[in-house]
Amino acid sequence: MKRINSIALIALAMVFFAPVFQAQEGMWLMHTLEEINEESMQNSGFRLTADDIYDINSASIKDAVIRLNGGSCTAEVISSQGLVLTNHHCSYGAIQGFSSPEHDYLTDGFFALSQDEEMHIDGFEVSFLIRIDDITDRVLANVTSEMSEDERNEAIKAAKGEINTEYSDTDAHGYQYEIKGFYYDNEFYMFIYNTYNDIRLVGAPPESVGKYGGDTDNWMWPRHTGDFSMLRIYADEDNNPAEFAETNVPYSPKRHLNISMEGVNNGDFTMVMGYPGSTDRFLSSWGIEQALSLHNPSVVDVRDLKLRTMKEHMDADLGVRIQYAAKYASTANYWKYYIGQSKGLKALDVQSQKEAIEQRFSNWVASSTELQAEYGEALQLIEDYYSATDATAKADAYALEAGLIGSDITLFAVRFGRTAPGLFSEDADQVASTKARLSGLCDSFFKDYDMSTDRDLFTNLMSKYQADIAPEHLPSFFSVVNKKYKGSIERYASKMYAKSFLVNEDAARAFIENPSEKALNKDLAVSAAMSILETYFGSMESDAQAKFDKGYRLFVKGLREMRPNKAFYPDANSTMRCTYGPVGDYSPADAVQYDFATTSDGILQKMDNSDPEFVVPARLEELLVARDFGQYADENGNLNICFLHGTDITGGNSGSPVMNANGDLIGLAFDGNWEAMSGDIAFESELQRTISVDIRYVLWIVDKFAGATNIIEELDLIYETPEVVVPTEELVD
């Protein structure tokens, strides 16, 4: 461990301006920071420059921030030996994969006390952003306003293909190239990544730390969750990406984050960088109405049944609990999210806010014939789209939630059924490739599969699907159920789980080696799954989708033209963004005030070892009661656990680094607050808060609880106030 002392600079703005405790809206693209955000950030207390964040010629902070598994989460490099920090829930599936009733790392935690104890995670990858190129003009070069949506899409597709080929043909590094559209395809950027897939688990606290509070505390404040885990990136001897091998060595990063030991105070500047997944900040009033009345209630209703079904089996069998832990957590997270989103949309009357924006847009369009010619149809197209899809919105939600991702067998059958035709090719290489892909599907599926649990999921969810959705919107396999099984899903399931080769690992692997088109087409699991898939994608008429695409594209383009002095940021789409704002408390309701930080006292106050969500292990309780906090305590001797700050994040930002004004790590983001769950649609500056775990609690768990001092020694810890060392000999007369 290196002790680095520096004297903190005092930002001039802090002298003249009192702290502002409003959350700051905006998920800003890296290459726009200098033009749009640098001055605002520095006025808010930031002590660096935009080039310190994003520089394609020199090492910058973006080189320490990484995308996990294509954007499911974010992580950051925190040592010169490729040590990575992210959330516990981002590594949850990996931790579960290493766990068994004999070695239950979910319950007990895991920390490697040397690098040779680190465990390779199959199917895990991290990506570093190399740079962003603006290719808008090239993508839209052959697009005209007279084109139909189909013609426009074809022109864009052709241009993307040419650009991708050009980048790939000139590549000398093995980089990955991804073109993303922004502002509803009004702009396009090329994102260039370098991806590593030899990733190893270094450390994870027990669930009693990493998931403390469970579903009860999820999305809530105050919070006392140590939501972190540690990974390491391995590379070949030249520091390049390489498949897993014992000879690989720890990755040497261009940049890693130093760690501040100073903690946070109310009003402090914070910055978050990461990969937010999806927002709908331009969503119309009609879109909100459809979400509130049809989509959200359907998702909540189906997931509620799914959770109850899984929990019954998980409570009865430890092995099933381990197998389904990650699935349950994922299902529960967005079950509660949609409950909170609907509540927030109603409480904040977001629909009226959107109607006001639309009225202002209409008035602006009506102000000139030129604007009417270009934007006059935008809102009508959007309204027409929702009118056309209201009839199928609930059915679409059920097709996905109860059908495709409801039980394990349906999603597995879709993937297997879409891949298996390659087995019947006359091309030997394609056959070999297909066998390998199907074998990989079997590997990942059967390790976390329990037939009894899955059968109940299929039966319960398909029965609900059958009962709740009008017959004309049901997949065709329900007609088979009616004709051959007297309308009984239970009877269909009995035969399917008895006869399908997909519910048995040996039978599935035997099929791969000796495939039969007839057997594939007759398999009941494949038939049901492909029928649901066809319904899900077939429900959207091309005319309705064209109205959506054109309506929103014109609306967003017009909004930006209507307000030329406003800096608009694009909706999140799993590309790297920067957001910033102050540490801040907030008032969620009348006569209620929440402080900006929690301490270890709250862990002991919530402790209830009869409740799995609030278990405190004996060793953790002992350390907390003894208040053995060492260098990780704050100035009052407390161990801070979590803190609030007003930054703009969403799913995908999990694990994002939270940095101070110097760009040093002070925590990692893992959640948002319940009262602002509508934030993906409308940002609420008075209420929106990011919930982050304090880095000092992370290090205390690693050091004092786990005894993994080897990890602490890797880190560069920043002490902004130099220690005063008094030579004792000089004090003696």
Report DSSP letters for 348-364, one per residue: TTHHHHHHHHHHHHHHH
Q: Is residue 22 part of a domain?
A: yes
Number of domains in the chain: 3
Please check whether residues 202 and 338 belong to one and the same domain: no
Checking if the pLDDT of 717 tops 70, the result is yes
Please check whether residues 248 and 356 belong to one and the same domain: no
The count of other CB atoms within 10 Å of the CB of residue 628 is: 14
Work out the burial of residue 485: count CB atoms within 10 Å of its CB; fewer than 13 is exposed, 13-18 middle, 19 or more buried: middle
Last residue of a domain, which of 195, 230, 247?
A: 195
Checking if the pLDDT of 3 tops 50, the result is no
> Which residues share a beta bridge with 132?
191
Please check whether residues 203 and 187 belong to one and the same domain: no
Angle between helices 408-419 and 451-468 (to 10 degrees): 90
Q: Is residue 729 part of a domain?
A: no
Please check whether residues 177 and 207 belong to one and the same domain: no
> Which residues share a beta bridge with 229?
86
CATH number at residue 75: 2.40.10.120
Find the catalytic residue in 185, 227, 634, 694. 227
pLDDT at 532: 95
pLDDT at 483: 95
pLDDT at 21: 64
pLDDT at 172: 87
Strands (DSSP E) contained in 34-185 are 65-68, 73-77, 83-86, 110-111, 119-120, 126-134, 176-182
Please check whether residues 667 and 594 belong to one and the same domain: yes
Q: What are the tens digits of pLDDT across the range 642-696?
A: 999 999 999 999 999 999 999 999 999 999 999 999 999 999 999 999 999 999 9
Checking if the pLDDT of 22 tops 80, the result is yes
Q: What are the tens digits of pLDDT across the range 85-106?
A: 999 999 999 999 999 999 999 9
Distances (CA, A) of 55 to 173, 257, 586: 19, 16, 35
Q: Is residue 551 part of a domain?
A: no
Q: Identity (one letter) of the amino acid at 415? A: R
Residue with tokens 């972190």: 228
Which of 658, 654, 684, 686 lies closest to 671 in space, CA to CA?
654
- Average pLDDT of span 357-378: 97
Cα(303)–Cα(111) distance, rounded to whole angstroms? 34
Please check whether residues 112 and 227 belong to one and the same domain: yes
pLDDT at 537: 87
- Give the pairing of strands 269-274 and 2-5: unpaired
Q: What are the tens digits of pLDDT across the range 575-608?
A: 999 999 999 999 999 999 999 999 999 999 999 9
Please check whether residues 316 and 371 belong to one and the same domain: yes
Last residue of a domain, which of 163, 195, 227?
A: 195
Q: What are the tens digits of pLDDT across the range 610-645?
A: 999 999 999 999 999 999 999 999 999 999 999 999
What contacts 733, CB < 8 A, 6 or more positions away?
none
pLDDT at 663: 98
Helix (H) or strand (E) run with residue 196 in it: strand 187-196
Distances (CA, A) of 25 to 584, 644, 684: 14, 15, 8
Cα(80)–Cα(72) distance, rounded to whole angstroms? 25
* Residue span of the structural domain in which 472 resides: 285-542
Q: Which two tokens stand for residue 573?
A: 């789409």
Cα(717)–Cα(729) distance, rounded to whole angstroms? 29
Distance of CA 655 to the CA centre of its chain: 9
Tell me the helix, strand and coil percentages in the chain, rounded to 5: 50, 15, 35
CB 624 within 8 A of CB 604: yes
Please check whether residues 226 and 298 belong to one and the same domain: no
Q: Identity (one letter) of the amino acid at 277? A: G
CB 654 within 8 A of CB 642: no
CB 74 within 8 A of CB 655: yes
Cα(358)–Cα(283) distance, rounded to whole angstroms? 11
Checking if the pLDDT of 470 tops 50, the result is yes
Q: Is residue 724 part of a domain?
A: no
- Look up 654 and say whether it is catalytic: yes
pLDDT at 543: 87
Q: Identity (one letter) of the amino acid at 73? A: C
Q: Is residue 67 part of a domain?
A: yes
Please check whether residues 307 and 440 belong to one and the same domain: yes
Q: Is residue 579 part of a domain?
A: yes
Helix (H) or strand (E) run with residue 270 in it: strand 269-274
What contacts 608, CB < 8 A, 6 or more positions away?
614, 615
Q: Is residue 554 part of a domain?
A: no
Cα(234)–Cα(164) distance, rounded to whole angstroms? 28
Please check whether residues 596 and 668 belong to one and the same domain: yes
Alpha-helical runs (H) found in 563-610: 600-606
Which of 522, 539, 281 lies closest to 404 in space, CA to CA?
539
Distances (CA, A) of 682 to 22, 25, 267: 15, 10, 23
Checking if the pLDDT of 10 tops 60, the result is no
Checking if the pLDDT of 360 tops 60, the result is yes
Cα(612)–Cα(22) distance, rounded to whole angstroms? 36
Average pLDDT of the chain to the nearest whole number: 93
Q: What are the tens digits of pLDDT across the range 291-321?
A: 999 999 999 999 999 999 999 999 999 999 9
Please check whether residues 108 and 165 belong to one and the same domain: no
Q: Which two tokens stand for residue 68?
A: 């996990």
Q: Is residue 306 part of a domain?
A: yes
Please check whether residues 201 and 191 belong to one and the same domain: no
Residue with tokens 């949609």: 338
- Average pLDDT of span 253-266: 97
Q: What are the tens digits of pLDDT across the range 488-508?
A: 999 999 999 999 999 999 999
Distance of CA 658 to the CA centre of its chain: 16
Q: What are the tens digits of pLDDT across the range 150-203?
A: 999 999 999 999 999 999 999 989 999 999 999 999 999 999 999 999 999 999
Band (722; pLDDT cuts 50, 70, 90): very low
Find the catalytic residue in 531, 654, 656, 692. 654
Sign of the torsion angle spanned by Cα atoms 158, 159, 162, 168: negative
Find the catalytic residue in 89, 295, 313, 645. 89
